[in-house]
Amino acid sequence: MIFMYLTKEEERMLDGEEGYAVKKSMEILVALGDIYGAEKLISVGSVQVAGVSYHNLGDAGLEFLNELARDGKVKVLTTLNPAGMDLKDWKKLGISKEFAEKQNLVIDAFRKMGIIISCTCTPYLIGSLPTYGEHIAWSESSAVTFANSVIGAKTNREGGPSALAAAFVGKTPSYGLHLEENRVPDVHVDVRVNLKKLSDWGALGYCIGKKVENKIPYITGVKDADLDELKSFCASVVTYGSKPLFFMKEITPGSEKHQLPKEKVIIEDRDIKDAYENIDDDVDTIDFVCIGCPHCSIKEIAEVAKLLKNKRVSSNTEFWVATSRLMKQLADKRGYTEIIEKAGGKFACDTCMAVAPLKGRFRSVATTSAKGCYYSRHNNMKTRLGSLEECIEAAVRGKWS
């Protein structure tokens, strides 16, 4: 029995009139809608699909994508999360031929579906920019948090298959963060610290994520924030435990509509210090440095180029700038690529430190990203979180200081 209201057209899709992919998609959407008590399906403006790295999908995931690709075509603007490798220069990043072949088959299936092979966790930087209040169905947790909290669009955190289902139908069940009644802050976070460098935003995300686990924070005390800082904060706060929505006073559109929640948490300097202590390992030799989790903006790439100019990355250290293909093309034109590559750095387009098959390749990583540290520990690396300057210095010296 179906509890959710379906239009005649939606019923026909569920009956298989538009083929296998749409039928399977409708089954997924209806089941999720019923589980979470949705009244109906709503149209989405865009979709962002995670579950792209062959490392996570395996052969079964690939097989499922191939089955959907036989007759599935997306109905709305749909972009992809990072893959397990740079789709062009995978050899340079030390990816095996066997992995590359499988990863390419995954990409072929997505391409057949009409999805833009953007392979980025920052769709909002490459042309999929939602508007305030728009319903979307995105997967990548940092992008979901950014869309909800910085832009004021509305999305749940979709899994790979449920995002694909939304793309084939052009709709998603109306529940969770699509409904205004569920977008209400339930804890006041009073930030009483001065954020000095980019990694401090990741550390702040760690503190808040841990303290407000599974709640929606209303954050006060943050004076101003630029795009890169918010991007880093979004990635960290959701990785370390909060819901993929926060309200930041005078930054989140619509935050003025909400009252301060009664429950209150204070973040002080010692919390930030504790965050660094928890994220950092006691390690000095650094054999991997990665900037770009989430993917670098063109401004961040410019900063990397400025700091690396006329320097040389240590021969014992691998240095990656993870970004989207589009940002790299911009960097090529502006001369940043040449500077970074001349210094011995590498661009890692289409992929990132969280989804590339890195287990066992490096012993330690230095990065500006608190989220990157979380995933690197899963890959058995020791971690160091620091400013861009500190990370570039670690890359040049092969040591953390």
Partner 1 sequence: MELKGRIISKGVAEGEALTTSQPISFYGGVDPDTGVIIEKGHELKGKKVKDKILVFPNGKGSTVGSYTLYRMKKNDTAPAGIINKECETVVAVGAIISEIPCIDKIDISKIETGDIVRLENDAVRIEKGRIPR
The torsion defined by the Cα of 17, 52, 233 and 236, in degrees rounded to 10, comes to 110
Rule CB under 8 A: say whether 310 interacts with partner 1: no
Q: Give the one residue of 120, 162, 199, 368 binding partner 1; rule: CB under 8 A.
A: 162
Structure tokens at 240: 């370390």
- Asked whether the CA dihedral 50, 158, 187, 153 is positive or negative, the reply is positive
- Region near partner 1 per CB under 8 A, out of 49-57, 214-222, 317-325, 389-397: 49-57
11 versus 63: smaller Cβ distance to partner 1: 63
Q: Which is closer to partner 1, CB of 24 or CB of 384?
A: 24
Query: Which one of the spans 119-127, 152-160, 178-186, 380-388 is the region binding partner 1 (CB under 8 A)?
Result: 152-160
Contact between 160 and partner 1 (CB under 8 A)? yes
- Residue 71 CB neighbours (<10 A): 15
Indicate whether 332 belongs to the interface with partner 1 (CB under 8 A).
Answer: no
Residue 312: CB minimum distance to partner 1, A: 39
Q: What is the 3-state secondary structure (H, E, C) of 148-164?
A: HHHHCCECCECCHHHHH
Q: Looking at beta carbons only, is 83 or 219 nearer to partner 1?
A: 83
Shortest Å, Cβ 144 to partner 1: 12
Residue 341 found at the interface with partner 1 (CB under 8 A)? no
* Site map (CB under 8 A) of partner 1, residues 123-142, x = contact: ----------------x---
Among 34, 89, 186, 280, the residue binding partner 1 under the rule CB under 8 A is 34
- Closest contact distance (angstroms) between CB of 343 and partner 1 is 36
3-class secondary structure per residue, the chain: CCCCCCCHHHHHHHCCCCCHHHHHHHHHHHHHHHHCCCCCEEECCEEEECCCCHHHHHHHHHHHHHHHHCCCCCCCEEEECCCCCCCCCCHHHCCCHHHHHHHHHHHHHHHHCCCECCCCCCHHHCCCCCCCCCECEECCHHHHHHHHHHHCCECCECCHHHHHHHHHHCEEECCHHHCHHHCCCCEEEEECCCCCCHHHHHHHHHHHHHHCCCCCEEEECCCCCCHHHHHHHHHHHHHCCCCCCCEECCCCCCHHHCCCCCCEEEECHHHHHHHHHHHCCCCCECCEEEECCCCCCHHHHHHHHHHHCCCCCCCCCEEEEEECHHHHHHHHHHCHHHHHHHCCCEEEECCCCCCCCCCCCCCEEEECCHHHHHHHHHCCCEEEECCHHHHHHHHHHCECC
Q: Which residue has the tokens 């961040």?
A: 300
Q: Is 32 near partner 1 (CB under 8 A)?
A: yes
Shortest spacing between CB 35 and partner 1, in angstroms: 6
Q: How far is the CB of 41 from partner 1 (least distance, A)?
A: 16
In the bound complex, what is the minimum distance in angstroms from residue 288's beta carbon to partner 1? 24
Which residue of 4, 21, 22, 24 would you call a contact of partner 1, by CB under 8 A?
24
**Cβ proximity to partner 1, 26 vs 187, nearer residue:** 26
Q: Nearer to partner 1 by C-beta: 35 or 266? A: 35
Q: What does each C-alpha distance from 357 to 55, 121, 294 come to in angstroms?
A: 6, 17, 17
The binder of partner 1 chosen from 51, 82, 261, 386 (CB under 8 A): 51
- Which of 31, 42, 179, 227 binds partner 1 (CB under 8 A)? It is 31
Please report where in the chains the tokens 């287990």 appear, as a residue.
359
Using the contact rule CB under 8 A, the part of the chain among 4-12, 54-62, 91-99, 298-306 near partner 1 is 54-62
- Note whether 105 binds partner 1 by CB under 8 A: no
Please report whether residue 59 would count as binding partner 1 according to CB under 8 A. yes
- Residue with smaller CB distance to partner 1, 37 or 133: 37
| 28 is an interface residue for partner 1 by CB under 8 A | yes
Exactly one of 161, 170, 185, 261 binds partner 1 (CB under 8 A); that residue is: 161
Residue 56: CB minimum distance to partner 1, A:
5
Nearest CB to partner 1, comparing residues 32 and 272: 32
Binding-site ranges for partner 1 (CB under 8 A): 1, 24, 27-28, 31-32, 34-35, 50-51, 56-61, 63-64, 139, 158-162
